[in-house]
């Protein structure tokens, strides 16, 4: 009888396979527990060269000729990789739109990797296709899109790209009966314009560039004091563009801007989009999760009017990276992406009603990420997820109050979601000095591992940012962080007398 030489390395029912499987799985779970479970700082504080040196000490050769002993391997992975990772579960890890993942979703990742289904065709996925379709259908109900449809994506970048891609196809067909996929760009397409606020994510410009429209096609609209798109300026710019013989075709709203979490005035924008015949896309990569909250879902009212929507699950749906969805109000618009490949989804299969999702995506091989959200929803229930969102928004309000009352803090806006932009300030330090202190606060918190917070610029000045996605972060955690932050600032003032004017 012929022998299976590699049984031990793949999942099967032999003893050696199962032994190996549990050995790796248990060691992975234990390593994660050791370095990520409790009480550790939010970052090791090691510099890039220190991290590289530690990695190289443990892994002298990146492609060893022979494999290593598993126990040693996991010990070294723990010491040099997990030890130097950003600890997203830590309550003081509050920098970016990067969440602690839910335990059920982590377990789903194990299933996803083990099953290794690909969502492009039925014969690579079976039940996975049906699960994704059902989760998408639930999402269409959640966002009130009765004729909607959607597809899982790698995140906001891909979903925003898809929104603008379909907008381009849609307008080209309507204006010129032209299909850019087949014929390339229409000679008049240099007149096409996309409108968004100046706080919109950079993927608007990036998508415009990828779509052959050029960054020049993006018209930025200024924002109000809370960083929401100004409707007055939008109207003026639209009129101006038509007068200059330009062709505005897409209105891009943001429900939760990356820095401030501001939500553009969706109902008024939807109305204008309708009036001017524009494709209305809502980037709710960040703010989409408020729809889970009974208390706060009104904040994104108007999203149901969007032609297309971006939602990220790896932000406030607490899913491991990567996971997002692209939703369409009218499922017919997926026709612009439709394709049939003989080896994947021949037309005969479609005629027989065999589902395939490749014709809705810009990816071919695609992960079964829907299982993560499915398992999370089934184990927590929507209400618990919604109350996590509530907790973080309530915390942000409390923190904002603390900051407003602090004489050494200047808060830049009233938080809409759970991002807060602020800076340390001092009457006797000029703007340049304040910039320097705030940058150093960020660096020092990271170096000591006391907290991971973000920095950004507002009108050219240095600011700090807390993104309070973690529902386990408490007001006490933030009070400690703020004390630490001011302590760093006052130490700097003491050490560098030149900062005081």
Ligand X SMILES: Cc1ncc(COP(=O)(O)O)c(C=O)c1O
Contact 420, 400 (CB under 8 A): yes
Q: Is 286 one of the binding residues for ligand X (CB under 6 A)?
A: yes
Measured CA distances, 63 to 59, 60, 69, 216 (Å):
9, 9, 15, 45
Site for ligand X in 311-350 (CB under 6 A): 312, 324
Map 335-363 to HEC letters: HHHCCCCCCCCCHHHHHCCCCCCHHHCCC
Q: Is 101 one of the binding residues for ligand X (CB under 6 A)?
A: no
Q: Which of 36, 13, 32, 35 is nearest to 24 (CA)?
A: 32
Choose one: 22-30, 51-59, 87-95, 252-260; the region binding ligand X (CB under 6 A). Answer: 252-260
d(CA 235, CA 114) in angstroms, rounded, equals: 52
Nearer to ligand X among residue 229 and residue 344 (C-beta): 229
Strand intervals (E) in 357-490: 409-411, 419-424, 454-458, 461-467
Q: Is 92 one of the binding residues for ligand X (CB under 6 A)?
A: no
Mask for 119-158, x = binds ligand X (CB under 6 A): ------------------------------------xxx-
Phi, psi for 120 (deg, rounded to 5): -80, -35
Q: Choose, by CB under 6 A, the member of 88, 93, 97, 234 that binds ligand X.
A: 97
Neighbours of 402 (CB within 10 A): 15
Q: Is 254 one of the binding residues for ligand X (CB under 6 A)?
A: yes
Q: Choose, by CB under 6 A, the member of 54, 258, 262, 438 that binds ligand X.
A: 258
Q: Is 367 one of the binding residues for ligand X (CB under 6 A)?
A: no
What DSSP designation does 433 have?
H
Q: Is 262 one of the binding residues for ligand X (CB under 6 A)?
A: no
Site for ligand X in 266-285 (CB under 6 A): 283, 285
Q: How far is the CB of 410 from ligand X (least distance, A)?
A: 24
Nearer to ligand X among residue 159 and residue 172 (C-beta): 159
d(CA 438, CA 266) in angstroms, rounded, equals: 34
Nearer to ligand X among residue 186 and residue 314 (C-beta): 314
Choose one: 186-194, 253-261, 265-273, 481-489; the region binding ligand X (CB under 6 A). Answer: 253-261
Q: Is 203 one of the binding residues for ligand X (CB under 6 A)?
A: yes
Q: Is 395 one of the binding residues for ligand X (CB under 6 A)?
A: no
Q: How far is the CB of 162 from ligand X (least distance, A)?
A: 12
Nearer to ligand X among residue 42 and residue 157 (C-beta): 157
Contact 170, 126 (CB under 8 A): no
Q: Is 303 one of the binding residues for ligand X (CB under 6 A)?
A: no
Quick one: which H or E segment has residue 305?
Answer: none
Choose one: 165-173, 233-241, 250-258, 325-333; the region binding ligand X (CB under 6 A). Answer: 250-258
Q: Is 418 one of the binding residues for ligand X (CB under 6 A)?
A: no
Quick one: which H or E segment has residue 175?
Answer: helix 156-176
Site for ligand X in 422-481 (CB under 6 A): none
User: Is the peptide bond preceding residue 322 cis, with omega within 30 degrees of 0?
Assistant: yes
Q: At what angle do helices 266-276 and 231-243 cross, to 10 degrees?
A: 20
Interface residue list for ligand X (CB under 6 A) = 97, 155-157, 160, 201, 203, 254, 256, 258, 283, 285-286, 312, 324
């Amino acid at each position: 009888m012929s022998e299976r030489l590699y049984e031990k390395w793949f999942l099967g029912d032999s003893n050696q396979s199962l032994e190996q499987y549990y050995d790796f799985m248990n060691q992975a779970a234990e390593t994660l527990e050791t370095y990520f479970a409790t009480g550790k700082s939010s970052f090791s504080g090691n510099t890039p060269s220190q991290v590289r040196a530690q990695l190289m000490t443990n892994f002298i050769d990146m492609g060893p000729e022979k494999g290593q002993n598993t126990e040693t391997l996991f010990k070294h992975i723990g010491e040099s990789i997990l030890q130097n990772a950003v600890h997203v579960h830590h309550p003081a890890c509050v920098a970016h739109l990067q969440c602690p993942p839910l335990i059920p979703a982590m377990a789903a990742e194990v299933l996803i990797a083990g099953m290794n289904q690909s969502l492009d065709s039925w014969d690579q996925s079976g039940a996975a296709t049906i699960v994704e379709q059902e989760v998408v259908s639930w999402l269409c109900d959640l966002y009130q899109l009765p004729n909607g449809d959607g597809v899982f994506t790698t995140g906001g970048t891909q979903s925003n790209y898809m929104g603008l891609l379909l907008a381009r196809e849609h307008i080209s067909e309507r204006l010129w009966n032209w299909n850019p996929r087949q014929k390339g760009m229409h000679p008049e397409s240099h007149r096409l314009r996309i409108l968004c606020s100046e706080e919109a994510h950079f993927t608007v410009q990036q998508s415009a560039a990828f779509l052959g429209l050029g960054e020049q096609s993006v018209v930025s609209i200024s924002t109000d004091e809370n960083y929401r798109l100004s409707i007055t300026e939008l109207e003026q710019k639209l009129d101006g563009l038509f007068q200059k013989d330009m062709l505005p075709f897409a209105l891009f709203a943001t429900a939760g801007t990356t820095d401030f979490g501001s939500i553009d005035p969706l109902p008024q924008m939807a109305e204008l989009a309708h009036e001017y015949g524009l494709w209305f896309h809502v980037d709710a990569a960040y703010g989409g999760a408020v729809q889970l909250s009974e208390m706060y879902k009104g904040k994104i009212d108007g999203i149901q009017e969007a032609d297309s929507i971006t939602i990220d699950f790896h932000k406030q749906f607490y899913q491991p990276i990567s996971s997002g969805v692209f939703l369409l109000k009218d499922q017919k618009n997926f026709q612009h992406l439709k394709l049939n490949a003989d080896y994947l989804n021949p037309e005969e299969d479609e005629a027989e009603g065999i589902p395939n999702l490749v014709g809705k995506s810009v990816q071919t091989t695609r992960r079964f990420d829907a299982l993560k959200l499915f398992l999370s929803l089934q184990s927590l229930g929507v209400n618990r997820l919604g109350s996590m969102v509530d907790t973080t928004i309530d915390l942000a309000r409390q923190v904002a109050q603390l900051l407003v009352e602090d004489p050494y803090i200047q808060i830049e806006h009233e938080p809409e979601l759970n991002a807060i932009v602020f800076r340390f300030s001092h009457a006797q330090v000029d703007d340049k000095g304040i910039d320097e202190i705030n940058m150093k606060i960020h660096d020092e918190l990271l170096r000591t591992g006391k907290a991971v917070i973000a920095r950004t610029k507002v009108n050219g000045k240095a600011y700090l940012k807390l993104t309070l996605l973690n529902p386990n972060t408490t007001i006490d955690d933030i009070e400690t962080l703020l004390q630490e932050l001011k302590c760093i600032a006052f130490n700097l003032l003491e050490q560098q007398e030149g900062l005081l004017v």
